[in-house]
Structure 1
Amino acid sequence: MNISGNTIFVPGATSGIGLALALALQAKGNTVIVGGRRTELLERIAAEHPGIGTVRVDTTDAASIDSAAKQVLADHPDLNVLVTMAGVMRVEDWRDPASFLASAESTVTTNLLGPIRLIAAFVGHLQAQPDATIMTVSSGLAFTPLKATPSYNASKAAIHMLSESIRLQLAGTSVKVVELEPPAVRTALLPGHEDNEQAMPLDEFVTEVVGLIESRPDAREIQVERVKFLRYGEARGDYDQVVAAVNGADPHGK
């Protein structure tokens, strides 16, 4: 993905990583459109950040995605980058099925079915562009599980394998598939998480991501240094130790 000269749609970008990345990409010379469910947030973003386009979209709703895609493509026929940013993360207790099933279904709908529907809505258009990119967003937890968030971990692992698979299918077309793999970042993904000193500051994360896109335009995976501890535990042979560290456990069970 080239760092500038693109027209980029980022659904799920009214806050957190999505908004910060959208603004950073705009600053690099791209036309950026952000999407989200809450009209008041979209109006505030448009007022505070001149030049940013906005469109209402609920990525849990197939009809909303279809409507938003038609609007974005009508207004921006040169669109060549889709960033499937929307996501939710919830704590679940799988020892009590009555407490986790609704959360699990909602998480999979947002984190997996949403990106699938978004890609379906735009991939035909993107293949007609001379140079296009689909950027998926997985997580370090796709590779090392956090005990408290099983459905989030699973949905992000599925996004990783989806990215790997559609990259194979789109080989030979104009569409690149790039997977962004965040570590824990200080956002409101979980309550109070924006103050978590163990997580990476948002501005540092986005600065490093933009630098990686700029220096490695052909990268298949965007990995800041902090995520590699999670991403490569199995390859390094210390997976059990990484899982224990992430979950605050003794790797020897003591």
Structure 2
Amino acid sequence: MNISGNTIFIPGSTSGIGLALALELQAKGNKVIVGGRRADLLEQIATEHPAIDTVQIDTADPASIDAAAKEVLAKYPDLNVLVTMAGIMRIEDWHQPESFLASAESVITTNVLGPIRLIAAFIEHLRGQPDATIMTVSSGLAFTPLKITPSYNASKAAIHMLSESIRLQLADTTVKVVELEPPSVRTSLLPGQESSEFAMPLDAFVTEVVELLESQPDAKEIQVERVKFLRYGEARGDYDQVVATLNAADPHGK
């Protein structure tokens, strides 16, 4: 992915990693469109950052995705990058179905069906661009499970394998597939995570991500140094130790 000269749509980016990344990419010379559910947050972003455009979208709603895609493509025919940022994380207790079923369904709808529906809405357009990118967002927890968030872990493992698979299928097109794999980052994804010492500072994370995108334009996976502990436990042969360390250290992980 080229670091500048793109038109980028980032649904699910009214706060946290999404918004921070949107601002950094805009500063690098890209046209950036932020998408989100809440009109008040979109209005605030438009006021505070007039170079950023906004579109209302609920990635858990297929009709909203279709409507937003039509709006974005009508306004920005040069769109060539889609970042499927939207995601939710829930603490679940799987001892009883009433404790986890509704949460699990919501997580899978947002974290798995959301990106699938977004890609479906934009893929034909992206294939028509001379240089296009789909950036998916998985997690270090796609590779090492956090005990308290089973559905989130599973959703991000699904995104990892989806990314691997569609990259193979789209190899005969102009569309690149890049997977962003965050560690725990200081955002509001879980209660208390914004102040967690275990989590990586947001500014430091986004700075390192942009540096990696700039220095490795052909990278398939964007991995800050901090996520490699989770990403490569099995390959190193210390997977059980990594799982134990993660789950003993802090309940707030991404």
Instruction: State the TM bucket, normalised to the shorter chain.
Output: over 0.9
Matched, 1:231 2:238: no
Match runs of 1:212-227 below 5 Å: 212-227=212-227
**Cα deviation, residue 51, structure 1:** 1.2
Give distance in 2, aligned partners of 1:37 and 1:159.
22
What do the CA deviations read for 1:183-242 (whole angstroms, capped 9, x no partner)? 000000001110001100000000000000000000000000000000000000000000
Give distance in 2, aligned partners of 1:98 and 1:40.
33
What do the CA deviations read for 1:24-83 (whole angstroms, capped 9, x no partner)? 000000000000000000000000001101000000000000000000000000000000
Question: Equivalent residue for 1:57?
Answer: 57
Quick one: which amino acid aligns to residue 188 of structure 1? S
Matched, 1:167 2:181: no
Question: Equivalent residue for 1:193?
Answer: 193
Q: For 2:83, what is the secondary structure of its paired residue?
A: strand
Give distance in 2, aligned partners of 1:153 and 1:218.
27
Q: For 1:176, what is the secondary structure of its paired residue?
A: strand
What do the CA deviations read for 1:143-181 (whole angstroms, capped 9, x no partner)? 000000000000000000000000000002100000000
Q: For 1:171, what is the secondary structure of its paired residue?
A: helix
Structure 1 unaligned blocks of 5 or more: 250-254
**Which moved further from structure 2: 136-145 or 191-200?**
191-200
Question: Equivalent residue for 1:21?
Answer: 21
Give distance in 1, aligned partners of 2:30 and 2:112.
27
Give distance in 1, aligned partners of 2:162 and 2:148.
24
Q: For 2:35, what is the secondary structure of its paired residue?
A: strand
Match runs of 1:85-100 below 5 Å: 85-100=85-100
Q: For 1:247, what is the secondary structure of its paired residue?
A: helix
**Cα deviation, residue 243, structure 1:** 0.2
Quick one: which amino acid aligns to residue 154 of structure 2? A
Moved over 3 A (4+): none
- TM-score (normalizing by structure 1): 0.97
Quick one: which amino acid aligns to residue 70 of structure 1? K
Question: Equivalent residue for 1:81?
Answer: 81
Q: For 1:35, what is the secondary structure of its paired residue?
A: strand
Question: Equivalent residue for 1:140?
Answer: 140
Q: For 2:199, what is the secondary structure of its paired residue?
A: coil
Quick one: which amino acid aligns to residue 207 of structure 2? T
Question: Equivalent residue for 1:252?
Answer: none
